[in-house]
Amino acid sequence: MVRRTHRLDGHERRGRFRGGPACGPPPRARGAALRRRRRRCRLRPRPRARRGRAEAPAPARGPARGIAVVAAANTAAARALVAGLAAAGVRDACVTPGSRSTPLTVALAEQDVIRPWLHLDERSSAFFALGLARASGRPVALVCTSGTAAANFHPAVVEADLSRVPLIVCTADRPPHLRNVGAPQTIDQVGLYGVSARHERDLPAPGSPDASPQVFGQAAAQAVEVSVGPLPGPVHLNVPFDEPLIESPADHPAPTSSPQAGPLPQVPSITPRPDALEAAVEALDRCERPLVVAGPESGGLPAEPIAALALALGAPLLADPLSGLRTGGHDRTHVLDAYDAFLRDPRAGALAPDCVLRFGAAPTSKALNQFLARATAATHILCDLPGSFRDPNAVTTRRLTADARSAANALREQLSGRANGDWLPQWRRHDARARQSLDAYALAVADPFEGRAVVELQRALPAGATIFAGNSMPVRDVDSFLTSDEKALAVASNRGANGIDGVVSSALGHAAAGTGPVALLIGDISLYHDFNGLWAGMRHGLDLTVVMLNNGGSAIFHYLPQAAHEHVFEEWFATPSNVDFAAAAGAYGASHCLLDDWSELEAALSGPGNGIRIVEVRTDRVRNLEMHEEAWTKANEAAWA
């Protein structure tokens, strides 16, 4: 994967670019001299006379003066960094308690431009920030102390990288002279997040000659600029603080002013190169069976330009639920949503395209991915941002490097060809029959069926609401059972690395953005994995409806080859948790109900927001597998009848 390089500041000591060696000037030899001076001061402290409370303090000299300088430098640097973030458009920061990060925490607490969100657990804090940044469209800052606290950010940083979500990760650290010498709570934090960071920088220790407050403010502002584009993602600022970390209350200066709230850096449009655009237009003009695929994208793809392009082509538009094109007020006459059911059939070869135009990441649907991989005779055009190549099947024959809006508009303006008359109606017939069958099955089956939860969520949620889908089976059920509809629902999921960790916290981050009601569809194992994320919802008074599909373990393994190995399957793969979720919910101030009838879900979703509500839907794992297979089989038969 090719990455841009960014020089964040001319004063940086040691910065690394993704995948590259250390850059910048080597560490200077002054460190040893500074330490010698400190040791001399400590060896011969000047005796002092006691003074009364009313007596004015004399100017500090000797070791006291050195201590005061370090603490004051820490405060000034932290305030400058926070001011730089605010001026660059940051409005939220997630903070976990710790000693070494004290200057940053206090600086955030003493201003009112950036809202600090308190968290107790670093992993949950980072995923909360991820969800908040994705939903708000703004980078969110993360602050933690040194040591393993910073390592606990790593899973969310990985997801932010692959999902293209901007984060500003600020890890406090020990000063350089305490690294690699066995100091407590000290690990190697320089380059900690490896290739997952768009850029990382190890800032100088406040008080050192090259550590003016301006250095910290500029580093913050430039970090935001890197994080928001052209390829959004996480940036790592490692901030060392020496002791004393902060002045005494009597000596701590009150802020003279609040940081200035500035706008986000403007990210210019990335238009396709003329020669690449010409080649793509030529391929689309001469094809007779074009297919447009809208894959997952954080924040959604631009719906109207892509829908208009599909209309101009006369092409089916296969809209992943995470693309932002499956629901909404844009033209959906070409949008298809049940392809996962009927592309499994060998007869789907009759629908093979001669040109595929794809936006976004690889689709959620395994059946669609396999169908596209089999279309080896087709021209595959991938529209994506520079510095990334999302093509796991290695089928791309032409690449259009541009943002999705610019690419779709440019293609539509230059197209002159159109698909043959039977191409789109053929796809529509298969899709409509499959959709009707899936909906009918979900509503008619007597046993509790996990696909039904998606149908009920779509019915009950108001326009502008968000369905946050957990990984494993929930996001696949959303792909199968969420229908194309005028009522706009945002659908989000952590589909960068597809992990089951941090899902609750990510959904709460979406709720914190305040863009509308949020419902989380999640499995029991994934909920268990991030149950302590609920603390943030309780602490900050957030509203979230959690629909937990409790099938007593990991249902997705029933669809995989491991299920055939019965002697190890239940204990080592299905892994029933046997957790009392009602009791666990109470520990975090969440309400809990066991669903007896689907109408209860509608009541829970339509009621006024009142904190975190867990609606537990108990299903049988084996029966659930049978019902999914029945639903897909019936839909496939209907599509090809």
> Does 52 have pLDDT greater than 80?
no
Neighbours of 418 (CB within 10 A): 18
3-state SS assignment for residue 306: helix
Domain final residue pick, 240, 265, 298 = 240
In a domain, 32, yes or no: no
Mean pLDDT over each residue of the chain, to the nearest integer = 89
pLDDT recorded at residue 121:
96
463/609 same-domain check: yes
508/577 same-domain check: yes
> Does 42 have pLDDT greater than 50?
no
- Nearest CA-CA partner of 118 in 108, 103, 130, 131: 108
Domain final residue pick, 240, 262, 295 = 240
DSSP per-residue codes, 56-90: PPPPP-HHHHHHHHHHHHHHHHHHHHHHHHHHTT-
Strand 167-173 with 234-240, pairing: parallel
pLDDT recorded at residue 55:
36
pLDDT recorded at residue 548:
96
For residue 437 the two structure tokens come to 């069958």
What range defines the domain where residue 298 resides? Answer: 274-428
pLDDT recorded at residue 553:
67
78/227 same-domain check: yes
516/583 same-domain check: yes
pLDDT digits (tens, 9 = 90+) for 404-446: 999 999 999 999 877 778 999 999 999 999 999 999 999 998 8
Structure letter (DSSP) for residue 573:
I
pLDDT digits (tens, 9 = 90+) for 529-541: 999 999 999 999 9
> Does 566 have pLDDT greater than 60?
yes
Give the separation between CA 89 and CA 549, rounded to whole angstroms.
Answer: 39
Neighbours of 123 (CB within 10 A): 23
484/552 same-domain check: yes
318/398 same-domain check: yes
CATH number of the domain that residue 387 is part of: 3.40.50.1220
pLDDT band at 14 (very low <50, low <70, confident <90, very high): very low
pLDDT recorded at residue 555:
67
Cis peptide before 230 (omega within 30 of 0): yes
In a domain, 550, yes or no: yes
> Does 609 have pLDDT greater than 90?
no
pLDDT digits (tens, 9 = 90+) for 242-296: 999 999 999 999 998 889 999 999 999 999 999 999 999 999 999 999 999 999 9
Nearest-Å Rg of the Cα atoms of the chain is 28
Q: What is the mean pLDDT of residues 301-313?
A: 97
In a domain, 5, yes or no: no
Q: What is the mean pLDDT of residues 19-42?
A: 40
Structure letter (DSSP) for residue 489:
-
In a domain, 184, yes or no: yes
pLDDT recorded at residue 35:
41
In a domain, 2, yes or no: no
> Does 3 have pLDDT greater than 60?
no
pLDDT digits (tens, 9 = 90+) for 337-382: 999 999 999 999 999 999 999 999 999 999 999 999 999 999 999 9
405/485 same-domain check: no
301/167 same-domain check: no
- Nearest CA-CA partner of 641 in 417, 383, 342, 364: 342
**Which helix (H) or strand (E) segment is 591 a member of?**
strand 591-594
In a domain, 452, yes or no: yes
424/453 same-domain check: no
Least confident of 182-186, 580-584, 598-602: 598-602
* Structure-token match 């000797």, residue found: 62
In a domain, 51, yes or no: no
CATH number of the domain that residue 524 is part of: 3.40.50.970
Domain final residue pick, 363, 396, 428 = 428
> Does 23 have pLDDT greater than 50?
no
Neighbours of 420 (CB within 10 A): 12
10 or 589, which is more confident: 589
Q: What is the mean pLDDT of residues 178-187?
A: 94
Give the separation between CA 567 and CA 575, rounded to whole angstroms.
Answer: 13
pLDDT band at 570 (very low <50, low <70, confident <90, very high): confident
Contacts with 78 (C-beta within 8 Å, 6 or more apart), sequence order: 103, 104, 106, 107, 206, 216, 239
In a domain, 414, yes or no: yes
Q: What is the mean pLDDT of residues 474-491?
A: 98
Quote the percentage of the chain above a pLDDT of 90: 79
pLDDT recorded at residue 250:
94
User: How far, in Å, are 265, 380, 524 from residue 571 at the CA level?
Assistant: 51, 43, 16
Domain count, the chain: 3
> Does 46 have pLDDT greater than 60?
no
> Does 54 have pLDDT greater than 70?
no
pLDDT digits (tens, 9 = 90+) for 496-543: 999 999 999 999 999 999 999 999 999 999 999 999 999 999 999 999
67 or 530, which is more confident: 530
> Does 134 have pLDDT greater than 80?
yes
Quote the percentage of the chain above a pLDDT of 70: 89
> Does 15 have pLDDT greater than 80?
no
575/534 same-domain check: yes
The length of the chain in residues reads 641
528/593 same-domain check: yes
* Structure-token match 């296969």, residue found: 318
pLDDT recorded at residue 564:
84
Q: What is the mean pLDDT of residues 147-167?
A: 98
pLDDT recorded at residue 47:
39
395/487 same-domain check: no
